[in-house]
Amino acid sequence: MMKLNLKPNLAVIVVTVALAVNFSEASVVRKTRQTCGCVESYQPTCSCQQSSQQYSCSCQPTTPCSCASSQSSQYQVQTSQCVPACRQSCSQQCQTVANPQCESTCQQSCQSNSCNPMTSTPMPASQSCLPQCQNNCMQQCTQQQSVEQCQQICQEQCNQECGVSNGQQDSTTGYGYNPYNPYGYGQVQNQNQNQNQYQNTQCEQQCSSQCTQQTSSSCQQCQSTCQPQREQVITIYISASLPQSSECVPQCQQTCQQQCQSVQQPSYQNCAPACSTSCSQSCSQPAQMACQVVQNSGAAACGCQSNYSPTLTENLRERRPDGMTADADLLEGYDEELGGNEAQKRDCKGITTAVIVVLFIMALIFAALVLFTPLFASTHLPSKRLNISDLRNLRYPFGEFQFTLDNPNTIVMQSWEGVELVEDGVSRLLFGRESGGEISPSADLKYFALTDHATNPGMNPQNETYHLKIVNNEERITHDVGLRGKESTVQAFKWNGKFNDFVFVENNKIYYKTAPEEKGVVKVSNGGQNTVDGLFDWIYEEEIFGKKDALWWSPNGNRLAFASYDNHLTRNISLKSYHRLNSYTIDTNLHYPKTFAKVLPSYTLSIWDKRTEQARQMDVQLKDSLSYHYLLAVKWLEINGTERLVSVWTNRYQNEIALTICDWESAICHLEFEYKYAAKRWVSHDDFNTMIAFEDTLYFLLPHDLRGNAFQQIATLRLSNGQHRTPKFLQLGEFDVTSIEGISPKTRTLYYHAAAPRPQQRNLFAYTLLEKADKSVNCVTCGITNCSWAQAQLDDEMTRAIVSCKGPAAPHTTLMNLTGNVKQEKADYAELLEDRSYQIKMEEAALPVIITEKIKISDDYDALIKLSIPRDVYHRDKSRAIPLLVHVYGGPNDQNTKDTTQVGIEEIVASGQQVAILRIDGRGSGGRGWKYRSAVYGQLGTVEVDDQLSVIKVVLRLYRHMLDANRVAVFGWSYGGFMTLSMVNEASENFFKCAISVAPVTNFAYYDATYTERYMGDAPLESYSDVTRKLDNFKTTRLLLMHGLLDDNVHFQNSAILIEELQNKGIDFDLMVYPNQAHSLSTRTSHVVGKMSQFLKQCFASEK
């Protein structure tokens, strides 16, 4: 594919565009008027409000743009058609916002003498005269006299001409001289006026009431500028071969200043510095893959002072729904006067001149491109849409990184090739991958354990075993692991983190070997048919620990802690698998306690000492020992120089915890700390999984109440305080801490991860524990290029960190040096490894343009959105609206708008079908404190559904020129499948054209007890949402239901009940079942993508 390289021609284009702006000064008035869609006799008034960063636009007679820095400046236009138009607009606009009182309040404001949504007070007749007079007077006067003299002269002169006595000021509207509005333009709101929370709706109503003389499309242009509380981030993937600092910044400044200066007073001088500040922050550094532009509601177009960020993407002709501006936008587009009423006066000479100038400039630009652009084949532009093969091709080629035990300068890396050693930015293969199984190296990298799945006829995950062998990489000798050599299959395996000895689980018992070469084994435990040692059952693996083995080596390698469970009383579910040439199905049982189950698996904790070869079961001393308790966390910690085992337990509803410290000698786990969570809060395994100890103090995560919200913060518990132990919180800030990484013993610096600076991000932070030191919080990884989602792994000395960056551009990994000085901690890093072939694949891939925004949904809550637009549609084809696919999950504490690069099934389908993807985080989502998390407690399937629907309506309105509101589909998997069905049920008829639900929960009474009761508490069955009770909307919304028959997570029972109800109601739908497939349908991905693509193609092509 050939490419026009614009790199050498930027200067030429900048010059030509600048010439175009100068030549078209005569038509700037007409162009800026079109910002609000004002008719010929009206001019736009732009305004800024510092407290909310509001950018509003209205029309008034012959008054250029003005800006009040701390108070909004607005002007109302009276017409005989204002009241009916205002009321009609109220009804339309109130349907798209989450405010039940919107319409009644708005209708009352549409008075015959005052068509003003902001206030019901009649406006003085002088309003249409005074601003115009003052403006004209000031423009003429300031050419000969000072501004101060002109203010006095013009005020007296215009007061007399407009029938206002000198010094008179209307008490309601606040007219007269104002230091923030020295020219007297427009209306300044009274300080005591009640500010409506729904400014977005008010602004749009105001636009409608002011635009009654305009066309409908013009009013929509005005409304599109009304975006208070909107912070938009646009991420565009571009070639890494282009030096962004040399192109992004100049182009940003050029566009910004054109827009800013074209609407400013001649005396305004702040465009250049304001644009420079904004563009230097918005544009990326050299060799970046993405350039992010942050919009603050278009304030810069009004010429706000430097504390406002000028908006590169605001278009003075019209604010496009995609938020971006084409080159020389002021010179192109439809002029409303050319298509206006015949009765309107036209400037034919000016129009002709403008057209000639535009054609001439376009010819210059084209000539510059042809003359100065070399033609050559390029691999840096996307040449095709994403397809199913990209799910593998675009996966990050490097896996897990970890520091080696003996040499901190050497890093071990897992890759598709095998295990590699990384030194000084160069990798070498240490051990090649022989099959698709896992490779686990020993502590000194001498041995490598290889696991391959053994035959599992029933495909029951509880019965999964492995063939295990260990290879001596120096001598290339292989050793089989198991009691029966090659014939053995093991259930779990664990290296000692300090030496080359290990343990494995076979037949529910734990065995120990001192070295791979040793013949004999040591029996550690006595598990059997009903008691299982060293393993977690399905519930614990899925919902708490996230792993199968229940084994923990002590840091010094001398002791092993392990958990055991007895589940012979736990109820089972039956899994059926189907096999060719087998006359009968293979039926297996899986222990699966469902919601309201009377019996849950019971766990014990033991410690085994390899020196004495003795195991002791711990006596865990809990106050409420007769009630059921989950084992929540297990961790070896060094407390006051001694290694101790810490275990955390929680009650059935997971809102109370008990922390114990276990003693080997006495075989007792002593109760050290208890905590009861506030209402509608719960504990998570992650809160204690990264728990650490420093000297005599424990550090873990608890909710910390802060100014109307509560955030997961680091709590400290000093164990030497006797029995009266109250946790204290580190003063970190209003954000959620997600994990604790460690404390540097030399500098006493604590490192942790947090959802900050924005909740969609993850970064490593540093905090000093020194008493007299600066306690300011420092983001360590925020300075890494293209790394807004960072996961850091620190070495034991806390001097270096491996940082895996998963967004917003191509994933990459860096090696960072840590100083331990919080004030001086900066992003001192270098790329750990570079894979140029992977970078080229990412550049060639047609990754979408990402737009993220924050949208207000009620008085107290905002929603975060992530909108993905196909790149070729975004850059080339903005003339047609495209369908929208809403990808929903919505589970408690989940984040669907993470600032990561995503290439999943939905991206493949959307790229192929040229569909936009919308992801929403509303109430119930994580990363923004308990205010959001707790909103769904006890009522899953309610408020999170409402928020999704409300935000979809707003997004369709904001991006109406790009998104087709008549072609909206929703897709979700698992909890997202439940949300998909619920959203269609709760939406208006025909709102969704089609829906795809994969492996949905239809009622959480059918799901596991641990997950459900964590969020529903002890709520009765009547409180549970059942999506099968209300299905009438599926008579007009097409449904594709997909489910694996071997789903061990969300059982097919859920879909079976749904299918029966759909059939009972006579509803036609599409069904795709997958035999022998579990919850993820992992071996049928290609078929899933094909079916979804075909379904959406037919859905969007058909008429409702």
User: Which residues are catalytically annotated?
Assistant: 974, 1047, 1079
Which H/E stretch holds residue 209? helix 199-210
Between the CA atoms of 257, 263, 265 and 269, what dihedral angle is there, to the nearest 10 degrees? Answer: -10
Amino acid symbol at 628: Y
Closest CA to 508 of 488, 485, 492: 492
Helix, strand, coil percentages, rounded to 5, for the chain: 25, 30, 45
Burial class (CB in 10 A: 0-12, 13-18, 19+), 80: exposed
Half-sphere exposure of 809 (CA within 13 A, CB side): 25
**What contacts 54, CB < 8 A, 6 or more positions away?**
47, 48, 72, 199, 203, 228, 297, 299
783 and 827 Cβ atoms separated by less than 8 Å: yes
Give dist(CA 973, CA 769) in Å, integer: 44
Give dist(CA 590, CA 572) in Å, integer: 5
* Helix 216-223 and helix 28-36, axial crossing angle in degrees, nearest 10: 80
Closest CA to 902 of 226, 223, 214, 395: 395
* Residue 985: both structure tokens together: 């049920």
Q: What does DSSP assign to residue 116?
A: -
Closest CA to 815 of 836, 835, 788, 794: 794
Give dist(CA 822, CA 770) in Å, integer: 11
Which H/E stretch holds residue 61? none
Closest CA to 574 of 1001, 1074, 1045, 1056: 1045
Half-sphere exposure of 327 (CA within 13 A, CB side): 20
Give dist(CA 764, CA 757) in Å, integer: 11
Distances, alpha carbon 646 to alpha carbons 305, 616, 649, 673, 713, in Å: 56, 15, 10, 11, 20
301 and 316 Cβ atoms separated by less than 8 Å: yes
Q: Which residues pair with 604 in a beta bridge?
A: 564
925 and 893 Cβ atoms separated by less than 8 Å: yes
993 and 1001 Cβ atoms separated by less than 8 Å: no
Give dist(CA 420, CA 423) in Å, integer: 10
Closest CA to 826 of 817, 839, 836, 838: 817
971 and 987 Cβ atoms separated by less than 8 Å: no
**What contacts 665, CB < 8 A, 6 or more positions away?**
none
Residues in the chain: 1104
Give dist(CA 547, CA 246) in Å, integer: 48
